[in-house]
Amino acid sequence: MHLAIIAVGRMKPGPEKQQTETYLRRCPWPVKIIEVEERRRITGPERLSREGDLILKQLADNAYVIALDERGKSLRSTDFAKVIRDHQDRGTANLTFLIGGADGYAPQVRKRADLLLSLGSMTWPHMMARVMLMEQLYRASCILSGHPYHKD
């Protein structure tokens, strides 16, 4: 199973990037991070639509898509691990996570998502969302392997 994170925006050097790289190294699954960015100075619906096009262009045709969204489903870490395990067991070839831009997702991206997943009801900076998602992927691998990292 191939894991990918498609994120709007470029991560700059700093603590968030260091933490993301730490969890990438720890995670037993290879995770590809794809950054997309609209560089033109456009705003509102036009920017949202353009970011949506950039995200959709990066998706594999057969990807199961989990979009991080504050209005999405909230899962405990053990349940998130079960989602990953279920996709492994089903033979899902591509499991792709999305992190949208500051204005969220274009309608075409929300429609394409198979699952909207919340990291909580609070609003998080996009770079922190990457760190939190990578930590949860690492934690899921620990839960599934019986490693004592996760305390329940």
Average pLDDT for 72-83: 96
**Residue 72 pLDDT more than 90?**
yes
With bands split at pLDDT 50, 70 and 90, how would you rate the model's confidence at 152?
Answer: confident
With bands split at pLDDT 50, 70 and 90, how would you rate the model's confidence at 87?
Answer: very high
With bands split at pLDDT 50, 70 and 90, how would you rate the model's confidence at 148?
Answer: confident
**Residue 151 pLDDT more than 80?**
no
CA angle 43, 46, 47 (to 5 degrees): 55
Q: Longest Cα pair distance anywhere in the chain, in angstroms?
A: 48
CA 81 from chain center: how many Å? Answer: 14
Q: How far apart are the first and last CA of the chain?
A: 27
Q: Which of 80, 98, 63, 70 is nearest to 136 (CA)?
A: 80
- Within 13 Å of residue 12, how many CA atoms lie on the same side as its CB? 0
Ordered by where they begin, the domains of the chain are 2-145 (3.40.1280.10)
Average model confidence (pLDDT) for the chain? 93
**Residue 43 pLDDT more than 90?**
no
Distance from C-alpha of 81 to C-alpha of 149, rounded to nearest angstrom: 13
C-beta of residue 36 within 8 angstroms of C-beta of residue 82: no
- Please indicate whether residue 142 or residue 44 has the higher confidence score (pLDDT): 142
